[in-house]
Amino acid sequence: MDATEVVLRIKNQLVTRQLHRQLRMRNEHLEAQVRLRTKIVEQTQLDLLARLTLASEYRHDATGGHAWRVGRMAMLLAELKGLPADQVDMIKKAAPLHDVGKVGLLDAVILKTGPYDAADWEAMKQHTKIGSRLLSDSRAPLLMMAREIALTHHERWDGAGYHSIKEEQIPLTGRIVALADAFDVMTHPRSYKPTMTLSQARTEIEQEAGKQFDPELSALCLKLIDREGEKLLSHVGPLQLVA
């Protein structure tokens, strides 16, 4: 054995090992940086969407928290429907934006306290198209889903909704949020209608299954009302949804 060669080889091996270690540590550091930056970008997106929702709530929500309760209800319905976890999470975040188009409505319509006439309802319908325009042209899946919901959350299963599409022509997200939105409107005060109790809302959904609402989702909604009861009416804030 040549001692000089052995020493040289060991030295080379140690240098190689040292370089490998440095490379691995550098890669781990870079991966951690990428994860952190991705998290910041995602959080910024959610923060901005939450603030956009709050801005539109200032304009039209007398009950406070409607958008966030709809987000929670839509999430629970999507979960019961068996959607994958990432879709459930996305609908929870996208559904609160369903009425964002109301920022573009005239004060005379949005701030009216008396009952709505036919012209008021016609003007009110525009909020779905305005919302869709506000959220269009994004490649972010969350915004694409939010746009779909904004446009279709007033469709009816029987085709008598805002844009006259029916049954499964209406995207599933729109059908889910239609139910979640209607349930929250039924159970909270509005100037144009009396507030229902939980059991009255339950009866209304049962009667409207297959007419206003997707029958399968209606059955899931009744199940949810029976399971969660008054908890469905409790307040939920934006940060609870965004976190």
CB of 24 to Fe ion, least distance (A): 53
Q: CB atoms < 10 A from the CB of 122, how many?
A: 11
Instruction: Check binding of 99 to Fe ion (CB under 5 A).
Output: yes
* Nearest residue relative to Fe ion (C-beta): 99
Question: Smallest distance, Å, CB 119 to Fe ion?
Answer: 18
- Kindly state whether residue 184 participates in binding Fe ion, applying the rule CB under 5 A: no
Q: Which stretch binds Fe ion (CB under 5 A): 14-22, 24-32, 92-100, 115-123?
A: 92-100
Distance CA 110, CA 76 (A): 29
Please say which residue, 171 or 219, places its beta carbon nearer to Fe ion: 171
C-beta of 22 vs 136, nearer to Fe ion? 136
Q: How far is the CB of 150 from Fe ion (least distance, A)?
A: 8
CA separation (Å) from 171 to 120, 174, 177? Answer: 26, 5, 10
Cβ proximity to Fe ion: between 64 and 229 the closer is 64
Distance, CA of 74 to CA of 217 (rounded, Å): 11
Query: How many residues form the binding site for Fe ion (CB under 5 A)?
Result: 1
CB nearer Fe ion, residue 57 or residue 99: 99
Residues of span 103-132 touching Fe ion by CB under 5 A: none
State the nearest-atom distance from the C-beta of 69 to Fe ion, in Å: 14
| Helix axes of 172-187 and 215-228: crossing angle, nearest 10 degrees | 50
Q: Which residues in 24-83 contact Fe ion (CB under 5 A)?
A: none
- State yes or no: residue 214 binds Fe ion (CB under 5 A): no
Q: Shortest gap between Cβ of 99 and Fe ion (angstroms)?
A: 4
The residue among 99 and 214 lying less far from Fe ion, judged by its C-beta, is 99
Min separation Cβ 79 and Fe ion, Å: 22
Minimum distance from residue 35 beta carbon to Fe ion (Å): 37
Using the rule CB under 5 A, give the single segment among 7-15, 79-87, 93-101, 182-190 that binds Fe ion.
93-101
Binding site for Fe ion (CB under 5 A): 99
